[in-house]
Amino acid sequence: MGLNRRDFLRIAGLSALAGLGGKTAFEILAPGELEASEVPLPKGVKWGMLINMHKFDDALTKKCIEACHKYHNVPNIGNPKEEVKWIWTDSFHHTFPGQENEYQSEDIEEMPFLLLCNHCTNPPCVRVCPTKATFKREDGIVAMDMHRCIGCRYCMAACPYGSRSFNWGDPRLAPEALNPEFPQNPDYPTRSKGVVEKCNFCAERLAKGEQPACVEAAREENEEAMIFGDLGDPDSEIRKALREHYTIRRKPELGTGPNVFYVI
Amino acid sequence: MLEKAIKGEKKYWGWLAFLLVLIGIGLAAYLYQFFVGLKITGLSRDVSWGFYIAQLTYLVGVAAGGVMVVLPYYLHDYKAFGKITILGEFLAIAAVIMCMLFVFVDVGQPVRIMNVALHPTPNSILFWDFTVLSVYLLLNVVVGWNVLSAELKDIHYQKWVKFLIYVSIPWAFSIHTVTAFLYQGLPGRHYFLTAIMAARFLSSAFAAGPAILILLCLIVRKVSRFDPGKEAIRTLGGIVTYAFIINVFFFLLELFTAFYSQIPGHMHPIVFLFSGLHGVDTLVPWMWTAAGFTVVALILLVVPSTRRNLDTLAVGCGAVIIATWIDKGLGLIIGGFTPTPFETVTPYWPTLPEMAVSVGVYALGFFILTVLYKIAVGIKEEAAGLST
């Protein structure tokens, strides 16, 4: 940019005087660059995910988790009390409490169910957040502004899926032995202590036309393992798969409208 | 009026100095938490609220309980409470300040706390709790101060103060209702998800608040020449008795609903609290202690002779305070987060630094309470022509 200090101050000062604020100044100084919040969302899209458990084994779930946690710089704290996780696995009983029965096959009970934020249609976490740090985007993604989050953890109390993690300590100080080369992705920010975080359906990858990191990792092995797409489009791959398979969701009776579907 | 706070005996200054030491310890522990993070607490991903938020819950009740002297005096012209309404209002001030501090020490990014006001979010109950508590604090400060300074000048307080007093009465009910709504509207937390939560909160508040007030009145009688009056204390004893019986009744309703319906989600938290779940039984001795104190309190309060005797009434009130504190200041929050959304049990117990921070907040509350009561009692003594 061919601006000297004098011009910069003049433009910034004039914008401030006109009550336009920093945003406008930045538009003048760096035209064409939009703030993240201004990335246009495709109209009418409602993102959803289908997880076909028949296609998963421990190795594949591990690959998905690694892809996500590497991409988003989610550190391994090495202590279950303070752990931070965006996607992880658990048993049938823990994933779908109340639906287990004592005669169920061990295969199903021991399946490594992938758990993540359900990006609910009617999310309780958004309802309770006192600062709108957690909000719902038009495309259905339940997103977070970690600079606004005050760390009250009301969202963690409200989420019936245990999808949210809190940074009990400074994640940048996570044990080095467990986190070689942290942060692994310089393009994604690390977090500070004292804020909540969770899966964001890879909003930043979707903006670039890419699939979420876990879906991409799963589909490299098996095209049918995970399907991510537009629930608003009746002809989308995910809608076709939802017509073909019987699927279940976690705790649908709570009225949250989870948008992650499981084929068992 | 403030000069009353700086004229005191050695015992008064000694007590304040002792509280200052505790505040200092709490502050040091808080600074440690501020720099290291909330990892210094016993909280975890599964039990994400604990001792701090539980104290908030208990103290909102104490703050609301003050209305049990304000209401009979101003709405029913019950004269015996005229001398002690100020004690109820000043107790509410100290309690609300402690409530706010317990929220403050619980958040992970305290420097951003004003985001709650900068980005007001009416759909969040925490926003409403923040609002109703702030207004209740303001109401009690303005009302208490004006009524007391009018008494000092031997004039009647201004008319607009009366309006604020009338506002403060339903407002006291609102602060504890809103605090109950913090929890009772959360899907998937079975122990919280009950329509009777707000009613239970109010009944326990109207037992615990006046019980604390009775003990404070008895202390004031001992350490000063101001006598709140036996009749006032005895009537308060009656209020504590009714409120506590209703509180126990509401809890029994919870037990019936959970265990007659046999719905596992409703039973699990109660089983966890009273007999342990998945081998975790940290709260069991506490809950049975609360049950024991409940029985003691009921006997001492219901039997007329022990309720009318100030010594046994004091013991009964102590038992009410312990039982309601264990129920709300310990069992409610931990039980609400157990079992986890995965039907597992994650143990939680406050750590030493967490306790130190809490002791610091309580000490600050008692410091404020002592100074306010010193002022109030000084003016009461003067008005009664008892001062030297």
Q: Are A193 and A123 within one domain?
A: yes
**Residue B80: DSSP 8-state:** G
- Let me know if residue A182 belongs to a domain: yes
- Give me the domain span that covers residue A27: 5-33
Whether residue A38 lies inside any domain: the answer is no
Closest-CA distance of chain A to residue B258, Å: 16
With an 8 Å Cβ cutoff, is B268 touching chain A?
no
A224, A119: one domain: yes
**Are residue A109 and residue A28 in the same domain, yes or no?**
no
Split into its structural domains, chain A has a count of 2
Contact criterion met (CB < 8 Å) for B265 and A151: no
User: Both ends of chain A: CA-CA distance in Å?
Assistant: 56
Pairing of strands A165-166, A196-197: antiparallel
Q: Could you tell me which residues come within 8 angstroms of residue A53 by beta carbon, excluding any fewer than 6 positions away?
A: A111, A113, A262, A263, A264
- pLDDT confidence band for B135 (50 / 70 / 90): very high
Of B106, B107, B344, nearest to A94 by CB-CB distance is B344
Considering the domain architecture, whether residues A76 and A167 belong to the same structural domain is answered as: yes
Res B385: pLDDT: 75
Do A152 and B107 count as a contact with CB atoms less than 8 A apart? yes
CB contact under 8 A, A168 and B39: yes
Q: What is the DSSP string of B149-182?
A: HHHHTTSPPPHHHHHHHHHHHHHHHHHHHHHHHH
Q: Nearest-CA residue of chain B relative to A94?
A: B342
CA B156/CA A137 separation, integer angstroms: 57
- A97 touching chain B per CB within 8 A: yes
The nearest CA of chain A is from the CA of B94 a distance in Å of 23
Pick A194's closest partner by Cβ from B38, B103, B187: B38
Q: Omega into A183 within 30° of 0, i.e. cis?
A: yes
Q: Is A39 helix (H, G, I), strand (E, B) or coil?
A: coil
Q: Contact at 8 Å (CB) between B212 and B65?
A: yes
Query: What pTM did the predictor assign?
Result: 0.90
DSSP B280: B
Rounded CA-CA distance B331/B324 in Å is 10
Residues 6+ apart with CB under 8 A from A207: A39
Best residue in B33, B38, B263 for a mutation probing chain A (most A CBs within 10 Å):
B38
Is A76 part of any domain? yes
For residue B358, what pLDDT band results from cuts at 50, 70 and 90?
A: very high
Instruction: Give CA angle at A48 (A42, A51), nearest 5°.
Output: 145
Assign B248 a pLDDT band (cuts: 50, 70, 90): very high
Cα(B126)–Cα(B106) distance, integer angstroms? 13
Interface test with B, best of A74, A84, A109, A150 (most B CBs within 10 A): A150
By the 10 Å C-beta count (0-12 exposed, 13-18 middle, 19+ buried), B64 is classed as buried
Residue A124 at interface with chain B, using a CB cutoff of 8 Å:
yes
A94 and A17 fall within a common domain = no
Query: Which amino acid is present at A201?
Result: F
Domain with residue A91: its CATH number is: 3.30.70.20
Question: DSSP label at B271?
Answer: H
How many angstroms separate the CA atoms of A13 and A3, rounded?
14
Are B38 and A168 within 8 A, CB to CB?
yes
Confidence of residue B386 (pLDDT cuts 50, 70, 90): low
Radius of gyration in angstroms for the set of CA atoms belonging to chain A, rounded to a whole number: 21
Percent of chain B with pLDDT over 70: 99
Nearest CB neighbour to A251, from listed B36, B183, B188: B188
At B263, list the tokens. Answer: 């719905």
Q: Which amino acid is at B227?
A: D
Q: Which residue out of B32, B45, B333 would a mutagenesis test of the A interface target, given it has the greatest number of A Cβ atoms within 10 Å?
A: B45
- Of A9-18, A205-214, B272-281, B331-340, the poorest mean pLDDT is in A9-18
Q: Is B337 on the interface with A (CB under 8 A)?
A: yes
| A160 at B interface, C-beta within 8 A | yes
Q: Does a cis peptide bond (omega within 30 degrees of 0) precede residue B339?
A: yes
DSSP-assigned letters across all residues of A90-146: E-HHHHSTT---TTS-HHHHH--EEE-----SS-HHHHH-SSS-EEE-TTS-EEE-T
Are A111 and A17 in a shared domain?
no
Across the range B9-23, mean pLDDT stands at: 95
State whether residue B187 sits within 8 Å of chain A by CB: yes
**Cα separations (Å) of B385 from B164, B170, B218?**
29, 35, 21
Which of A125, A153, A173, A198 to mutate to test binding with chain B, by most B CBs within 10 Å of its CB?
A: A153
For residues A122 and A222, membership in a common domain is answered with yes
Quick check: B354 contacting A, CB < 8 Å?
no
Q: What is the C-alpha to C-alpha distance for residues A74 and A66, in angstroms, rounded to an integer? A: 9
- Asked if residue A41 belongs to a domain, the reply is no
Domain membership flag for residue A40: no
For residue A157, give the amino acid letter: A
CB B208 within 8 A of CB B297: no
Q: Is residue B110 classed exposed, middle or buried when 0-12, 13-18 and 19+ CB atoms within 10 A define those classes?
A: middle
| B342 → closest Cβ in A94, A133, A167 | A94
CB contact at 8 A, B51 and B350: yes
Examine residue A130 and state whether it is found in any structural domain, yes or no: yes
Of A80, A162, A166, the CB nearest to B108: A166
Q: Give A97's contacts in chain B (Cβ within 8 Å).
A: 341-343
Q: What angle do CA B164, B165, B167 make, to 5 degrees?
A: 60
Residue A38 pLDDT: 56
Residues A245, A259, B185: CA angle, nearest 5 degrees: 130
How many residues would you count in chain A?
A: 264
pLDDT (average), residues B160-174: 95
**Do the domain assignments include residue A125?**
yes
Give yes or no: residues A74 and A25 share one domain: no
In this structure, what DSSP letter does residue A179 have?
A: S
Q: What are phi and psi of A166, to 5 degrees?
A: -115, 145
Cα–chain-centroid distance for residue B85?
17
Shared domain check, A23 and A81:
no
| C-alpha distance from B39 to closest chain A C-alpha (Å) | 5
State the average pLDDT over residues B35-52: 97
Q: Does A150 touch chain B (CB under 8 A)?
A: yes
pLDDT at A162: 96
Q: Minimal Cα distance from A168: which residue of B?
A: B39
pLDDT at A10: 57
Strand partners, A229: A48
A195 vs B contacts (CB less than 8 Å): 108-109
What is chain B's alpha carbon radius of gyration, rounded to the nearest angstrom?
21
Looking at the structure, tell me whether residues A14 and A57 fall in a common domain.
no
Quick one: B31 exposed, middle or buried, by C-beta within 10 A (0-12, 13-18, 19+)? exposed
Q: Do A82 and B45 touch (CB under 8 A)?
A: yes
Pairwise CA distance, residues A127 & A123, whole Å: 7
Q: Is the ipTM of this complex over 0.90?
A: yes
- Of B106, B337, B342, which is closest to A90 when you measure between CB atoms? B342
Nearest to A127 among B123, B189, B264 (CB): B123
| pLDDT tens by residue, chain A, 264 residues | 445 655 655 555 555 544 444 444 444 444 444 455 555 666 789 999 999 999 999 999 999 999 999 999 999 999 999 999 999 999 999 999 999 898 989 889 889 999 999 999 999 999 999 999 999 999 999 999 999 999 999 999 999 999 999 999 999 999 999 998 889 999 999 999 999 999 999 999 999 999 999 999 999 999 999 999 999 999 999 999 999 999 999 999 999 999 999 999
Q: Decide: helix, strand or coil at residue A228.
A: strand
User: Which residues in chain A have their CB less than 8 angstroms from residue B342's CB?
Assistant: 90, 94-95, 97, 162
Put simply, the answer to whether A81 touches B337 (Cβ < 8 Å) is no
Residues A56 and A22 in one domain: no
Give yes or no: residues A115 and A20 share one domain. Answer: no
Please name the residue that has the structure tokens 């070689």: A180
State the residue for tokens 């029994």.
B252
Contacts of B265 in chain A (CB under 8 A): 98
Q: Residue B41: what are its φ and ψ, rounded to 5°?
A: -90, 175
What pLDDT band is residue B380 in, cutting at 50, 70 and 90?
confident
d(CA B173, CA B190): 24
Rounded Cα gap, residues A114 and A62, in angstroms: 10
Residue A42 lies in a domain: no
Tell me how crowded residue A13 is: count the other CB atoms within 10 A of its CB: 11
